[in-house]
């Protein structure tokens, strides 16, 4: 019965000019960062038992959710229907604009509320339909770009997009792409822990949004009750997911704009669900783990660099509409900062973890990648606040004291500049999770560093002495 409804909906969508594009895939290179959306009707079995015309309600749900996702005013308007699985509808979206990621959660939250309100009018209190929503991202490779003859290729085919070999006219989804990979499976695993009134969010997507939260606030005005990443995303627990992260438990992240028991749960849910009871107690005692914990989690499982690569790929490859900068031509640029103490007599050095792909177990000044709509000074100030928890004042009129470059794993040259600044708050001990340890170096300490020492980044000694000379 459900399959027949889905087939009928497919015909209806394909005959509708507004909706037919969800089945069109004309992109030559299908690889990239993909956003996946899952909408699953909860309490569906009870509803089917008690309502003779349940099939009409389900058909309306399929069509309603699709129309709202690809509406012209939707930040996800380029989404495409992936598949129907029972009472669940899945969409995929190849990310080509930052707004698709940065505005997806507030928009989806409103969409789900709208659809649930219409579903509520068609049900009774004891068979009310809810929507369990899950959102996650994955780095996907086009199967056509994989070289089967290269056994030792550096390309990781963790997730692939491919075209199933349909024959004849047996399928209405002829030439429709499909996805395989452990991060594709991940979404189905975490959807089990989704819940009505919230959105279950993949940890990588949550971390991406957290790392770019300042850009969300400044450029996209996503802040306050309807979009604060710091407040609306929380870790509600950890679960061992089959085939995911081996022996490490996966953080279950929920998005909600109202973190209180009355908004999130029915009055009696906790009686039959021990996990709901635990979450309710954490909310009451304000003991939910903050989303910033994801930074340590990805560091501990040695995935932080992989996540940073995904962030860079998702952000730097996007296109801005009606903007004077062609983002296809934007490259990765780093901003380092030589940080002096309050008296401007010592230089801060930080030791990179040995797990880093770039410059493992090497001392550096600290640096960050510049984001769009940021000045060099903004990047330096933001980076030091995020990485060391300290406030920085830029010196030397923000004129760089040096430039540098290095070659990444893809053999691409990454340029950078070095600014000069000093710490303004009275922090005696630097707190950081990004680096193994930190230390303050006097001029005497710096002079003891051997020239071309492999324990420090290139020209560390030269630039540190230059910084002290500029100040003097």
Q: Provide the percentage of residues in the chain whose pLDDT is more than 70.
A: 79
| Coil, helix or strand at residue 407 | strand
Strand ranges (E), 87-170: 88-94, 130-142, 159-162
**Mean per-residue pLDDT, 408-429:** 80
- From residue 20, how far is each of 3, 78, 90 by CA, in Å? 19, 12, 16
pLDDT value of position 442: 94
How confident is the model over 323-345, as pLDDT tens digits? 333 444 446 789 999 999 988 99
Task: Scan for tokens 């129907």, then name that residue.
Answer: 84
pLDDT value of position 170: 45
Task: Scan for tokens 């020239």, then name that residue.
Answer: 451
Range 233-237, long-range pairs (CB < 8 A, 24+ positions) = 233/201, 233/206, 233/209, 233/291, 234/259, 234/288, 234/289, 234/290, 234/291, 235/288, 235/289, 235/290, 235/291, 235/293, 235/294, 236/279, 236/282, 236/288, 237/193, 237/275, 237/278, 237/279
Query: 185-198 burial by CB neighbour count: b if 16+ within 10 A, else e?
Result: bbbbbbbebbbbbb
Contact call for residues 431 and 389 (beta carbons, < 8 A):
yes
How confident is the model over 389-400, as pLDDT tens digits? 888 999 988 889
β-bridge pairing 334-340 and 413-423:
parallel
User: Between these two residues, 173 and 178, which has the higher pLDDT value?
Assistant: 178
* Torsion, CA 297, CA 299, CA 300, CA 303, rounded to 10: 90
DSSP codes of every residue in 436-453: SEEEEE-HHHHHTSPTT-
Least confident of 86-95, 225-234, 278-287, 417-426: 225-234
Half-sphere exposure of residue 179, counting CA atoms within 13 Å on the CB side?
31
Helix (H) or strand (E) holding 111: helix 104-120
pLDDT value of position 428: 65
DSSP assignment, residue 20? Answer: G
Contact call for residues 188 and 142 (beta carbons, < 8 A):
no
How confident is the model over 357-381, as pLDDT tens digits? 778 899 999 888 887 667 889 889 9
Interaxial angle between packed helices 2-14 and 54-69, expressed in degrees from 0 to 180 and rounded to the nearest 10: 40
pLDDT value of position 122: 67
pTM strictly above 0.85? no
How confident is the model over 210-238, as pLDDT tens digits? 887 766 665 555 554 444 777 889 999 99
State yes or no: pLDDT of 152 exceeds 80: no
Other beta carbons less than 10 A from residue 425's beta carbon: 9
Average pLDDT value for the chain: 79
The CA-CA-CA angle for residues 25, 204, 67, to 5°, reads: 40
CA gap 31, 161 in Å, rounded = 7
Q: Which domains does the chain have, with CATH numbers?
A: 2-316 (3.30.70.1230), 331-471 (3.90.79.10)
Contact call for residues 93 and 76 (beta carbons, < 8 A):
yes
């Amino acid at each position: 019965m459900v399959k027949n409804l889905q087939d009928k909906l497919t015909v209806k969508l394909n005959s509708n000019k507004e909706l037919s594009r969800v089945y069109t895939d004309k992109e030559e290179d299908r690889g990239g960062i993909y956003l996946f959306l899952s909408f699953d009707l909860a309490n569906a079995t009870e509803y089917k038992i008690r309502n003779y015309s349940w099939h009409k309600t389900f058909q309306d749900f399929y069509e309603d959710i699709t129309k709202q996702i690809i509406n012209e005013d939707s930040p996800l308007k380029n989404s495409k229907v992936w598949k129907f699985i029972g009472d669940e509808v899945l969409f995929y979206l190849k990310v080509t604009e930052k707004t698709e990621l940065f505005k997806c959660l507030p928009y989806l939250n409103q969409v789900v509320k709208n659809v649930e309100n219409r579903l509520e009018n068609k049900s009774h209190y004891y068979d009310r339909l809810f929507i369990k929503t899950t959102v996650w991202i994955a780095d996907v490779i086009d199967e056509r770009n994989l070289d089967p003859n290269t056994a030792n290729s550096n390309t990781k085919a963790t997730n692939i997009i491919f075209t199933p070999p349909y024959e004849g006219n047996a399928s209405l989804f002829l030439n429709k792409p499909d996805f395989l990979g452990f991060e594709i499976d991940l979404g189905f695993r975490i959807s089990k822990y989704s819940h009505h009134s919230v959105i279950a969010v993949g940890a990588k997507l949550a971390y991406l949004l957290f790392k770019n939260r300042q850009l969300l606030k400044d450029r996209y005005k996503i802040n306050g009750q309807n979009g604060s990443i710091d407040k609306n995303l929380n870790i509600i627990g950890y679960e061992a997911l089959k085939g995911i992260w081996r022996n490490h438990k996966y953080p279950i992240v929920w998005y909600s704009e109202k973190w209180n028991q009355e908004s999130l749960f029915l009055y009696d849910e906790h009686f039959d669900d021990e996990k709901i009871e635990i979450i309710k107690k954490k909310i009451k005692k304000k003991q939910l783990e903050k989303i910033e914990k994801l930074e340590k989690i990805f560091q501990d499982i040695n995935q932080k660099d992989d996540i940073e690569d995904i962030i860079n790929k998702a952000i730097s490859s996007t296109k801005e509409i009606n903007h004077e900068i062609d983002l296809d031509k934007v490259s990765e640029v780093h901003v380092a900062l030589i940080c002096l103490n309050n008296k401007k007599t010592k230089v801060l050095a930080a030791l990179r973890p040995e797990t880093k792909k770039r410059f493992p177990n090497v001392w550096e000044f600290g640096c960050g990648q510049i984001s769009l709509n940021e000045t060099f000074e903004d990047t330096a100030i933001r980076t030091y606040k995020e990485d060391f928890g300290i406030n920085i004042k830029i010196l030397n009129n923000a004129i760089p004291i040096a430039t540098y470059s290095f070659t990444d794993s893809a053999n691409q040259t990454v340029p950078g500049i070095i600014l000069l600044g000093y710490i303004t708050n009275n922090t005696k001990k630097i707190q950081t999770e990004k680096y193994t340890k930190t230390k303050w170096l006097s001029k005497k300490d710096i002079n003891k560093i051997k020239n071309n020492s492999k324990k420090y980044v290139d020209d560390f000694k030269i630039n540190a002495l230059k910084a002290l000379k500029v100040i003097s």
